[in-house]
């Protein structure tokens, strides 16, 4: 993950809303079932809210029942990086934007085929770009 300078972090603090900043750079988590992306069904792509890099295709999104937007694979193999998180005592695998290092959520091995993975994301760390160009 790229290391941001203190100046870059301060600039992001000024640009991002507090909710997004807390998720992306303090590894926060939004409450389950609260983000509108849970109900989003249009074609398009989900981008990092910090740096706008495309991360997940809408076609890989599914309702995991977890309360967070979930995907079965990243858009490209190198857009999402992982690291081990021990915050809950048992290890979990955190996911981050490979470009800017923003925390996105976690990945679990209980997703659907063809990958068997569940990339469980915080909607507040994502922007949706619909295929039709509408917001």
Q: How far is CA 50 from the centre of its chain?
A: 10
Verify whether residue 120 is a known catalytic residue: yes
What is the Cα–Cα distance from 108 to 135, expressed in whole angstroms? 30
Instruction: Classify each residue of 57-71 as buried b or exposed e, where b means 16 or more C-beta atoms within 10 Å of its C-beta.
Output: bbebbeebeeebbbb
> DSSP letters along 43-102, please?
SEEEEETTT--EEEEGGGEE--SSSS-EESS-SSTTSEEEEEE-TTSS-EEEEEETTT--
Catalytic residues: 120
């Amino acid at each position: 993950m790229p290391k941001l300078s203190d100046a870059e972090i301060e600039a992001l603090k000024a640009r991002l809303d507090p909710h997004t900043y807390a998720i992306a750079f303090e590894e926060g988590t939004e409450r389950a079932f609260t983000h509108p992306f849970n109900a989003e069904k249009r074609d398009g792509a989900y981008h990092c809210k910090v740096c706008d890099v495309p991360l997940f295709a809408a076609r890989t999104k599914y309702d995991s029942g977890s309360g967070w937007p979930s995907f079965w694979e990243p858009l490209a193999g190198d857009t999402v990086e992982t690291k081990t998180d021990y915050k809950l005592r048992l290890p979990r695998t955190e996911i981050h934007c490979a470009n800017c290092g923003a925390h996105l959520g976690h990945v679990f091995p209980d997703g659907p085929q063809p990958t068997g993975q569940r990339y469980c994301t915080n909607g507040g760390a994502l922007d949706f770009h619909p295929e039709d160009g509408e917001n």
